[in-house]
Amino acid sequence: MQLRGPFIKILLFVTLLPALLSGQENFEMQIEELLSQMTLEEKIGQLVQIVGVDENEENFIRESKIGSILIGTRKGVKEINRIQKIAVEETRLGIPLIFANDIIHGYHTIFPIPLAEASSWNPELVKEACSIAAFESASEGTNWTYAPMVDICRDPRWGRVMEGSGEDPYLGSVFASARVEGFQGDDLKDKTKIGACAKHYVAYGAAEGGRDYNTVDISERTLREVFLPPFYSAVNTGVTSIMSAFNDLNGFPASANYFTLTQILRNEWNWDGVVISDFDALGQTVYHRFSKDKKDAAFNGLTAGVDIDMVGNPVDGDVYAPYLKHLVEEGKLSEDLIDNSVRNVLRMKFRLGLFENPYTDVDFFEKNNLKKNYKDSIALQLAKESIVLLKNENDLLPLKKDLKSIALIGPLADNHEDVLGMWAGAGDPENTVTVLQGIKNVLDDDVDINYVKGCNFNDDDRSGFEDGVYIAKNSDVVVFIVGEERGMSGEAASKIDLDLPGVQEDLIKIIHQLGKPVVVVLISGRPLTINWISENIPAVIGAWYLGDQTGNAIAEVLFGDYNPSGKLPVSFPRSTGQIPVYYYQKSTGRPFEEKDKFTSRYLDSPNTPLYPFGYGLSYATFNYQNIKADKKKISKNENVTVTVDVSNTGMYEGEEVVQLYIQDEFAGITRPVKELKGFQKIKIQKGETKKVLFIITPDMLSFLGQDMKPVVEPGKFNIMIGGNSVDLISTSFEVVE
């Protein structure tokens, strides 16, 4: 007689009753009890994830050959519950499935892309947005999201720069933690929370040439100091899973890299979550010419530390399903290794509460749905805070609401879909507020809003130029809404040319000659090279893809209902030839000098970015002064308190991101010229001065020494505070033995 799920679960309950009665949440006992009853085939099934479900795959579920499903937005919650019922009630052990999804920046409510959210420098608000995304997706059957992406990226040619938090490991770590907390909350068994997955492990954002999926070759020091910290932050926050990357890292595919997946992640960090490969990343180790075939890929993946093979198939692929059993039977692979991975998967299912509540509680979500006005208000606030004011010559902005007419031009001005950006979940473009509609929402009916598209994104069609010139001539001010269509950034969207695509800039140049006041709003998924615009157009706004509330957010900034506060999480290059350009650079043996050719410089460009990391203007003006450290000499175990006075000397109330950078003036290992180590976002009334305090702890002064161990060396430390990574005031103290 074959025992089915419900009967087995009763046996398990009786066996573990003493632990349950004692109030202990003892997953490990239950995991071992399940493992002892599982066949090798059932164990391997837990390590296989499929995409979608058809009739044949339902039979594989009944045979316990599938452990999780990448479900996307194609299945309704009732269908997901039906599929789950097969796993829970029609299998021998009744082990529930996990339903995974890509919830990157919202599910139904679409928030700004992650790079834009990082421009807010407001992790608490981003945490709240992730919490809303978790609620919405959980209500439709998702248990697990493949987010956050925490890759550090210093090459905007790489299309996936849009999915992360930019170039800095500290800022990236802060947002990694915030997003994990938002998705997972304090209790993963909460029906409104889902498991998070930090990706792509590791150094995927350093792909050579900015070409997606490409090789990465970096030092262990760079790996540990730049690319690993956001993952460590996610692990410390309790992330349930990590996704291994596509790229080759220092000679080993990231999805078959024992050093990163086991030595660091398991042995050094003592993490017991799930590692899942990226989409077919295990099979692709064959194309790396690291694995001889997919059977070899199965061996390499499991022994390196990958628990789940994404896009497996119990019949013909991909890697684990057809080959792990053979490897064990041939004595090439220990079943103990499979057991360890199964433990990780079962542990995640227990943590998610799936053994207790495997089904989505449809009645609960119908009775407790989030209010639309609440979700929209968070989306709008985050969109506004994600906008970066790049230039505002002669205070052209904010525009006056009593103007008679405005010319609105550009392919993104009345665009519902592209402004959502890639990975827009189950978002409906019909819910998007376009810029045209947003401006109508803030202006009175007696203001003439003259709109034409003017041109397309990616062709040389100039047939709309004449209409653009006409409405510009007959309007008080011209606002261009230009940038990239959403498919121009994201996965598999690398570019060698970061100029504004198509003939958009040509149209701007023609209308600029009319002498009208011009504002350019740039909507994109990456920094673009906009040298001419920056030099010639008086007001420039970096808006990114802002999601559902794009139009309202941009309109409120344009007309002064919201004072922009965003700061760049990534530098804007002057040209692609300058890449990589980032603030975190090291000194050279021949520092730049204007009059000396034989220094570290370009013949045809400044070394500096067009706009630096941390940069962003406001309609207010902020003055920094009176920076002080409370101690001039400390031991390496002491804290230092640093204060600075920040004054609003402008005519508007505003928010300022006060940024703290530290420089180790001399060290046994060459160090960056400065490192972001803290920030505070504060609101200051016009005419007000606020004293801002930072406590500098020993770990903020430490770095990896010659032996790759953290060390605080004696010597002078310079403390720099300001509104971006360039315009800073400083003080110093000394660490003594």
User: Is 101 within the bounds of a domain?
Assistant: no
Of 127, 111, 226, the residue nearest 182 (C-alpha): 127
Let me know whether 672 and 538 are in one domain: no
Within a 10 A sphere around the Cβ of 369, how many other Cβ atoms?
12
CATH number at residue 639: 2.60.40.10
Let me know whether 415 and 557 are in one domain: yes
Mind listing the pLDDT tens digit for each residue in 166-216?
999 999 999 999 999 999 999 999 999 999 999 999 999 999 999 999 999
Let me know whether 518 and 414 are in one domain: yes
Parallel, antiparallel, or unpaired for β 654-664 and 715-722?
Answer: antiparallel
Mind listing the pLDDT tens digit for each residue in 322-357?
999 999 999 999 999 999 999 999 999 999 999 999
Let me know whether 484 and 558 are in one domain: yes
Q: Which of 553, 578, 603 is the last residue of a domain?
A: 578
Mind listing the pLDDT tens digit for each residue in 483-519?
999 999 999 999 999 999 999 999 999 999 999 999 9
> How far apart are alpha carbons 675 and 167 in whole angstroms?
12
Q: Which of 554, 578, 602 is the last residue of a domain?
A: 578
pLDDT, mean of residues 271-280: 97
Tell me: pLDDT of 622 over 70. Answer: yes
Q: Structural domain of residue 396, as residue ranges?
A: 381-578
> How far apart are alpha carbons 96 and 84 in whole angstroms?
6
User: Is 276 within the bounds of a domain?
Assistant: no
Three-state DSSP state, 452:
strand
Number of domains in the chain: 2
User: Is 545 within the bounds of a domain?
Assistant: yes
Let me know whether 395 and 449 are in one domain: yes
pLDDT of residue 14: 45
Mind listing the pLDDT tens digit for each residue in 305-320?
999 999 866 655 589 9
pLDDT of residue 659: 99
Let me know whether 450 and 534 are in one domain: yes
Catalytic residue among 278, 296, 318, 548: 278
Q: How far does CA 285 lie from the centroid of its chain? A: 25
Of 662, 663, 656, 567, the residue nearest 613 (C-alpha): 567
User: Is 626 within the bounds of a domain?
Assistant: yes
Parallel, antiparallel, or unpaired for β 622-629 and 640-648?
Answer: antiparallel
Let me know whether 429 and 555 are in one domain: yes
CATH number at residue 390: 3.40.50.1700
pTM of the entire predicted model: 0.95
User: Is 730 within the bounds of a domain?
Assistant: yes
Segment (H or E) for 363: helix 362-367
User: Is 712 within the bounds of a domain?
Assistant: yes
- Amino acid 243 reads M
Let me know whether 467 and 551 are in one domain: yes
Let me know whether 434 and 567 are in one domain: yes
Mind listing the pLDDT tens digit for each residue in 537-569?
999 999 999 999 999 999 999 999 999 999 999
Let me know whether 656 and 520 are in one domain: no
Question: φ and ψ at 470, to 5 degrees?
Answer: -60, -50
Let me know whether 494 and 558 are in one domain: yes
Q: Is 707 a catalytic residue?
A: no
Q: What percent of the chain has pLDDT over 70?
A: 96
User: Is 533 within the bounds of a domain?
Assistant: yes
User: Is 177 within the bounds of a domain?
Assistant: no
Q: What is the DSSP letter of 223?
A: I
Of 326, 375, 144, the residue nearest 243 (C-alpha): 144
Mind listing the pLDDT tens digit for each residue in 437-454?
999 999 999 999 999 999
